[in-house]
Amino acid sequence: MEQGFGLRRLYSTFAGSWPGAGLLLLRLVVGSFLLVGAGPKPWSEQPLHATLPSTSLAGSGLLLMAGLWTPVAGTIVALIELSQILTVTREPWVGLLAGSIGGALAMLGPGRWSVDAHLFGWKRIEAPPRRSRSNEL
Mean pLDDT estimate for the chain: 83
**Which one has a higher pLDDT value, 110 or 43?**
110
The gap from C-alpha 102 to its chain's centroid, in whole angstroms, comes to 8
CB 116 within 8 A of CB 70: yes
CA atoms 36, 42, 105, 78: torsion sign: negative
Q: Evaluate if residue 133 carries a pLDDT over 80.
A: no
Sorting pLDDT into bands at 50, 70 and 90, what band is 59?
Answer: very high
pLDDT digits (tens, 9 = 90+) for 4-17: 555 555 665 677 78
CB 103 within 8 A of CB 74: yes
What is the model's pTM?
Answer: 0.76
